[in-house]
Every structure is written in structure tokens, then in C-alpha cells.
A and B are shown apart, each in its own frame.
Chain A
Amino acid sequence: GAVVSQHPSRVICKSGTSVKIECRSLDFQATTMFWYRQFPKQSLMLMATSNEGSKATYEQGVEKDKFLINHASLTLSTLTVTSAHPEDSSFYICSASEQDYNEQFFGPGTRLTVL
């Protein structure tokens, strides 16, 4: 089956630092990758959608300068949380699909804690 990995699985950082999260599709080429954020006891919130080689499409209310997304290849997308603050602490999950609008396969998630 389609496998998506995320790294790191857990990160604790100081306020003001930047954190990079990697999302990789291990056994398929991901045309589209999605980045979600999930706060405790809440549903997934889509942050942005990215296609390989093009700029990401950000959802309303998501600051593109704060959450930098790079979809450099068909198997790798990165999310960089710049100048992280405690309110950015959350569970970040990526997903990938082989074709546009196809089933999304989720990575295991990254728990970010900003002190």
C-alpha cells in the first residue's frame, strides 16, 4: 500500500526558532501533497495544498510567510514553521495523493511543542 512518512515525529523548540517538517511518499509519486494542522479534540484543518514544482495554495487565514511549503519533488514536501511561537504548538499532518483529487494517504504526523 501507499506509505507516507513524516520527520520528525516530535519536536520541542524555543520560541522564535524555525522548524522544518519533512513529508515523503515512500512507494509512490505524489502529484499533490496536503498539510494539515490539528489542535486537541478538533478536526483536521487544511493549511495548504501543494503540487510538485509549483507554489502552494494556502487556505484562508494561513500565513504563507510563516508556514513555508516547498514541494521540491514528487516524493518530498517540506513545511517550515518560521519564528515559531507557543500558539503554533499543534499536531501537523501531511498527506499525499497519486493523482489530483484521489485518495489521500496520511503521514504519521509531527507533534510540535513551542516553549
Chain B
Amino acid sequence: GQNIDQPTEMTATEGAIVQINCTYQTSGFNGLFWYQQHAGEAPTFLSYNVLDGLEEKGRFSSFLSRSKGYSYLLLKELQMKDSASYLCAVLDSNYQLIWGAGTKLIIKP
């Protein structure tokens, strides 16, 4: 079966750095997305990785290792507004988007 694993919840301090991991087992791979979702709102796009390596975009970076079925989202200089759920999703060989359950990130002052 297809599986996306990410931690249920993480806590970090304002101004610090946090890494949210995602491991996947899917039938094929056509890219991995990270989305941010605030409570009661729809997800917003953060990043897309299809090749191995690190993609940096401001305070957020996303890393992919296809051989390990692994990705992480790195958030730097954390702000209170970064408190949200972070969803990892993989596009499989049928171009279906397989969603992880999301990681709830709690930022403390």
C-alpha cells in the first residue's frame, strides 16, 4: 500500500529552527509537495521537489532524497504565525496526490 509518515505534532520556540520529516512509500514518484494549513483554512503551497537535494525559499527549505524515500521541511527564524499544520504529499506514478496526515507545529514564545 501507499504510505506517507510524518510526526503528528512538534513544538518549537520562536526564533529557533525546526525540521519536519516525511518518509514515503508509494507506487512510483513524480514529486513531493509541502503545504501549510492554518486551522480552519485550506492548505497553501510551500514547495515542490522532484530532484534530490535542497530547495531554499526564504525562511523555508525543503530537502528530498528519492533513494531513501525521505524529505524534510526546514523552517528557520520561527515566528508565531508559523504555528500551523504542515502537510507532506507525494505524486505517485498515476499522478495521484497521496497526502500525509500532517504535522501540527506549535510555536512557543
Interface residues of A (CB under 8 A from B): 34, 42-46, 91, 93, 95, 100-101, 103-109, 111
CB distance from A82 to the nearest CB of B (A): 23
A44 adjacent to B45 (CB under 8 Å): no
Distance from B61 Cβ to chain A, minimum over Cβ atoms (Å): 18
Contact with A along B28-57 (1 / 0, CB 8 A): 001001010000111111001000000000
Which B residues fall within an 8 A CB radius of A? 30, 33, 35, 40-45, 48, 87, 91, 95-97, 99-102
Does the CB pair B99–A44 fall under 8 Å?
A: yes
B54 to chain A, nearest CB (A): 19
Complex contacts, B42 vs chain A, CB 8 Å:
93, 95, 106-109
Q: Known: A43-B100, A43-B102. Contact between A109 and B41, CB under 8 A? A: yes
Residue in chain A with minimal CB distance to B43: A106
For A101, what are the chain B residues with a Cβ–Cβ distance below 8 Å? Answer: 30, 91, 95
Chain B residues whose C-beta falls within 8 Å of the C-beta of A105 in the assembled complex: 45
Cβ 8 A contact of A108, one of B33, B41, B48: B41
Chain A residue at minimum C-beta to C-beta distance from B95: A101
